[in-house]
Structure 1
Amino acid sequence: MSAAPFSTEVIATSPYTDQKPGTSGLRKKVRVFMQDNYTENFVQAIFTAMPAPGPKDSVVVVGGDGRYYMKHVIQKIIKIGLANGVKKFIVGQDGILSTPAASNIIRKAQANGGILLTASHNPGGIDNDFGIKYNTSNGGPAPESVTDSIFEASKVISEYKITDIPDIDFNKIGSVHFGDHTIEIIDSISDYLDMVKEIFDFNLIKSFLKAHPDFTLLFDGLNGVTGGYGRRIFIEELGLPLSSIDQCVPMEDFGGEHPDPNLTYAHKLVKNVNEKKIDFGAASDGDGDRNMIISNDWFVNPSDSVAVIADYAKHAIPYFKKTGIRGLARSMPTSASIDRVAEYHKVKVYEVPTGWKFFGNLMDAGQLSICGEESFGTGSDHVREKDGLWAVIAWLNILAYVNSNSQSFISIKDIMETHYDKYGRNFFSRYDYEEVDSNGANKMYSDLKAKCYGGLVGTSFLNGAFTVISAEDFEYTDPIDHSVSKNQGLRIIFSDGSRIIVRLSGTGSSGATVRFYFEMFENRTEKLMIDTQVALKPLIEIALEISKLKEYTGRDEPTVIT
């Protein structure tokens, strides 16, 4: 469809002072973005700060997780982008693109970047969260140099440019032309499906499903972006019954649910898996970059999940049979389970700050194949974002592989037991205290940091069972670009290798989230399969004693336990 060239209008505006994006973009409440020119200012700032050669004649991918206000903002992005010289927009049908799918399209189309409309795992709806995130040409989140430039542009903005084109119908696949400029609406799922079929052994998976007709799978889309992807992969491609998917229609408010795949917020999946004795349960989050793996008799901790995938990858997954394993990595708070796999396979392991861009640098340099974060993010160098469905299919591929020559069914719990027997177990748990008073949280954190540098080393707890040998604020020097990232989380390490980590999270849109991470290694056979909370109880008590969390915040129970 063609239309006449457009005209451009210049609109006077005034800057807002709170438009500093993080790794995950700019996240605020929807009503903040609805303020006069708030969204327009930030979008213009993105195009102003867009890395060389800038927006003129560029190709930009746009899509989001389907949350409230997304379609309205995509219209704004297109109109402002065209006025700034963008040559072509590639937009997911209905505006829908999962975050990893968008990363794949940026890379496949050799686009100059992408703008993602998502607040990830945070709630949606007019009274909840929204976000705008810029990804660069490698398909990954913009580095700090770019996000800093966007912020600087937002602070001095006095006008933005916008075209007078009519709204685009995102429901209709095809292209709309305005002079030499194009808006292409694409099938949101096809490219992603093609990609995962090249990565994984779908024939092996189909053979496994045929050989085990009683095997049950349940994928819960949490009313987020991956619903259509799940239907296309599990029902249409793998031939599983329709009962194998749930909550797979994207909703603007995620059905009133919190689209975060953990044991607390994915409560419906947990209930269904337990009551229906599901062999393999899985969920993804609002924008599709996180995952949870669970069975009727085992919950796979995300730190263990990435370690298991890494252990089997070059034997079970075709992609890694071809590429090999170039390196493994985890975020600093993530347990060292993957470190043991790296040592066994004689590959390098990296410990990086929280934020996928750090993995991306290593991937772009050819030094990293598989990585993960304890916050339910798992991925590989196939894209430059974490990828929830990739992790789910990886586990299905591994299940098919281990069962291919087995007389009896090998379950998820069996796989984990074998893993622990081989490597030992890094017991791990995270406690999230959400929407904590910011003043109390900041005071607690600053005082704990002072303790770390003021005599905590050498202190013993529980009659000498735990002695602090290191206490610091984690700092990282990127081996690729040599940038230094400071203040990445307080890390307290004990003589037996146990760790307590404390961080303040900035991924929400209000209040503070205090996160505690607990880790303890165990290799005694009789202790490997005990309950995580029982194993970690002494460490949890020490953390609360050192931090005085309740004294500073009034909170004595976490919102979420992972």
Structure 2
Amino acid sequence: MIETIATKPYQDQKPGTSGLRKKVPHFQQPNYAQNFIQSIFDVVAKQELETLVIGGDGRFYNREVILTAIRMAAANGYGRVIVGRNGILSTPAASNLIRQRGAAGGIILSASHNPGGPDGDFGIKYNISNGGPAPESITSAIFEKTKSISAYRIFSAPAPRIDELGEKHLGDMVVEVVDPVAAYAELMESLFDFDKIRALIASGFTMRFDAMHAVTGPYASEIFVNRLGAEKGSVVNAEPLEDFGGGHPDPNAVHAATLINHLMAPNGPAFGAASDGDGDRNLIIGKGVVVSPSDSLAVLAANAHLAPGYARGIAGIARSMPTSQAADRVAQKRGIGMYETPTGWKFFGNLLDAGKVTICGEESAGTGSDHVREKDGLWAVLLWLNILAERRESVADILKSHWAEFGRNYYQRHDFEEVDKDAAEGLMESLRDRLASMAGQRFGSLVVSEADDFSYKDPVDGSVATGQGVRIVFSGGGRIVFRLSGTGTAGATLRVYIERFEPDPAKHDLVPEEALAELIETADVIGEIKKRTGRTAPDVVT
């Protein structure tokens, strides 16, 4: 039986770059999740009895909302819901299932790299039929609906158990519980040379993968240990926990410090990697070297042809605007297309669907390809392993040879977290007010050549996105980018991106802080960071 439940709208359900994210207690308000899910169903045009994929990263409150979403899907005309066992589905695995099963879309419950637990973060994101995040036209319509919603529909009977594989019914709707790993692992085997990677590992090559008690634990154990033969201890923190073991599932220098220190030790393994809460981000480490996300994108793009799934080469590369321009130099030398988009994986979807690009990346440790429509942490790790298996060089040597061929883009991202929202917005507003007069200004030895607020016109559908980040470019190619992140749930996260190109191989061994010192100092002067936020140093540097 279908029930129609009266509700009152909330005015704060505007999705960010990765869906609606709030603290768990906020989502636990009466009908808060139901309102947002019903608004999705009301906005998304669908045929009768279509398929919906539902899953999440296993964080606290995941199961409760999944069971509610299943009951609401049954009341809103879906014919089949596919859900990962125990509600587990990594974001790239969910994207794959949507595409593989011809689903109308999917609801992914995650706050990605943000902390979990009863007082942690929670999120709901809708992905469309191509497997990618809903574009702004859809998320804006969902937000408008949330502001006027008066009722939601839900099936009165409880949802079937989701801890057993197989099909059950809820009214006329089929609820299919699937192994969350199987289809994804098979996709990876079709893209990469598992025999060659297996031989590399059998030769004594050692690795460690930190799943950070997040969703990729079961995926990494199946792929790296069961299918590729890595030692069982190679995958650590492999059990997904509702609070991520009290940790912060963000694979960066702060939260993955234990893994990094392990790789820096004299007897450490040859290769290390980590992924985040929902499996879409990655960290790559070699013996004695941490690979920046921007360098990783460039190296993967330059070497993708070594993997069977990309043996014919790649059509083009796309990167988010704040990501370093290292990949641009690969595209230029290879004679392939290069696209610069706003931050947010949804902006890559049209380029991928149109066949304009094959590999995409963004500054926040996200890389992926046209195999799905999300960034994919384990995919990046496997492509690195495939490259290492083919070249039989260390990560450090691969980086050095890459810089020798293409030059080195020294690059850092400085995150100032939980900044007072008004102060952060005031900082950005002040920057925008000064853009018109900034060209020609000198800061030490740096002279501004151009400054703008990045806007993007999609080359496929012509849609326009404005206000995507302040860019300040200096003569000689250095640049500073300022933007506010859309993935946090408390205050505002100010992100400052600092970059300088160095063509001379004799200067490729500098410490990034040294190579970027004048730009870092200039960023504080131009942005008035200390003056406006009170912060004297970033919380995280990547």
Relative to the length of structure 1, the TM-score reads: 0.95
Structure 2 residue aligned with 1:248: 238
**2:222 is the counterpart of 1:232:** yes
Kept in 2: contact 1:51–1:146 (CA 8 A)? no
- Which of 85, 97, 101 pairs up with 1:93? 85
- Which of 296, 321, 342 pairs up with 1:353? 342
**2:410 is the counterpart of 1:395:** no
For the residues of structure 2 that align with 1:224 and 1:59, how far apart are their CA atoms? 27
Structure 1 residue aligned with 2:499: 519
Structure 2 residue aligned with 1:4: none
For the residues of structure 2 that align with 1:347 and 1:241, how far apart are their CA atoms? 39
**2:361 is the counterpart of 1:372:** yes
Measured after TM superposition, the shift of residue 204 of structure 1 is 1.1
Answer with 174-183 or 83-92: which moved more.
Answer: 174-183
Measured after TM superposition, the shift of residue 82 of structure 1 is 0.6
Letter in 2 for 1:458: G
1:46-61 matched pairs, under 5 angstroms = 46-53=40-47, 56-61=48-53
Q: Deviations over 1:40-89 (max 9, x none)?
A: 11111111111344xx3110000000000000000110111111111100
- Give structure 2 stretches of 5+ with no counterpart: none
Q: 3-state SS of the aligned residue for 2:147?
A: helix
Inter-CA distance 176–270: structure 2 relative to 1 (3 Å threshold): same
Kept in 2: contact 1:518–1:540 (CA 8 A)? yes
Kept in 1: contact 2:17–2:487 (CA 8 A)? no
Question: Could you tell me the percent identity over the aligned residues?
Answer: 51
For the residues of structure 1 that align with 2:442 and 2:268, how far apart are their CA atoms? 44
**2:259 is the counterpart of 1:279:** no
Measured after TM superposition, the shift of residue 180 of structure 1 is 3.1
For the residues of structure 1 that align with 2:453 and 2:184, how far apart are their CA atoms? 39
Letter in 2 for 1:58: E
Structure 2 residue aligned with 1:8: 2
Q: 3-state SS of the aligned residue for 1:156?
A: coil
Letter in 2 for 1:243: G
Kept in 2: contact 1:125–1:252 (CA 8 A)? yes
Q: Deviations over 1:156-190 (max 9, x none)?
A: 11111111122321110011023431000000000
**2:141 is the counterpart of 1:156:** no
1:536-555 matched pairs, under 5 angstroms = 536-555=516-535
- Which of 279, 291, 296 pairs up with 1:300? 291
For the residues of structure 1 that align with 2:282 and 2:505, how far apart are their CA atoms? 29
**2:3 is the counterpart of 1:20:** no
Structure 1 residue aligned with 2:206: 216
For the residues of structure 2 that align with 1:354 and 1:254, how far apart are their CA atoms? 26
Measured after TM superposition, the shift of residue 251 of structure 1 is 0.4
- Give structure 1 stretches of 5+ with no counterpart: 1-6, 404-409
1:99-498 matched pairs, under 5 angstroms = 99-210=91-202, 212-213=203-204, 215-275=205-265, 276-314=267-305, 316-322=306-312, 324-403=313-392, 410-453=393-436, 455-462=437-444, 465-498=445-478
Q: Deviations over 1:438-495 (max 9, x none)?
A: 1111111111111112x11101122xx3110111100000001100000000000011
Kept in 1: contact 2:196–2:389 (CA 8 A)? yes
For the residues of structure 2 that align with 1:154 and 1:374, how far apart are their CA atoms? 31
For the residues of structure 2 that align with 1:328 and 1:525, how far apart are their CA atoms? 25
Measured after TM superposition, the shift of residue 329 of structure 1 is 1.0
Letter in 1 for 2:6: A
Measured after TM superposition, the shift of residue 520 of structure 1 is 0.2
Inter-CA distance 179–555: structure 2 relative to 1 (3 Å threshold): closer
Kept in 1: contact 2:287–2:396 (CA 8 A)? no
Letter in 2 for 1:439: D
Kept in 1: contact 2:409–2:500 (CA 8 A)? yes
For the residues of structure 1 that align with 2:505 and 2:114, how far apart are their CA atoms? 39
Kept in 2: contact 1:23–1:142 (CA 8 A)? no
For the residues of structure 2 that align with 1:141 and 1:166, how far apart are their CA atoms? 29
For the residues of structure 1 that align with 2:349 and 2:451, how far apart are their CA atoms? 28
Relative to the length of structure 2, the TM-score reads: 0.99
Letter in 2 for 1:19: Q
Q: Aligned-residue CA RMSD in angstroms?
A: 1.0
Q: 3-state SS of the aligned residue for 1:116?
A: strand
Inter-CA distance 179–506: structure 2 relative to 1 (3 Å threshold): closer
Q: 3-state SS of the aligned residue for 2:249?
A: coil
Q: 3-state SS of the aligned residue for 1:333?
A: coil
Structure 2 residue aligned with 1:31: 25
For the residues of structure 1 that align with 2:477 and 2:505, how far apart are their CA atoms? 18
Letter in 2 for 1:355: G
Kept in 2: contact 1:434–1:512 (CA 8 A)? yes
**2:490 is the counterpart of 1:510:** yes
Kept in 2: contact 1:193–1:233 (CA 8 A)? yes
Letter in 2 for 1:172: E
Letter in 2 for 1:430: R
Structure 2 residue aligned with 1:3: none
Measured after TM superposition, the shift of residue 203 of structure 1 is 1.0
Q: 3-state SS of the aligned residue for 1:94?
A: strand
For the residues of structure 2 that align with 1:159 and 1:238, how far apart are their CA atoms? 50
For the residues of structure 2 that align with 1:195 and 1:262, how far apart are their CA atoms? 27
Q: 3-state SS of the aligned residue for 2:53?
A: strand
For the residues of structure 2 that align with 1:22 and 1:200, how far apart are their CA atoms? 33
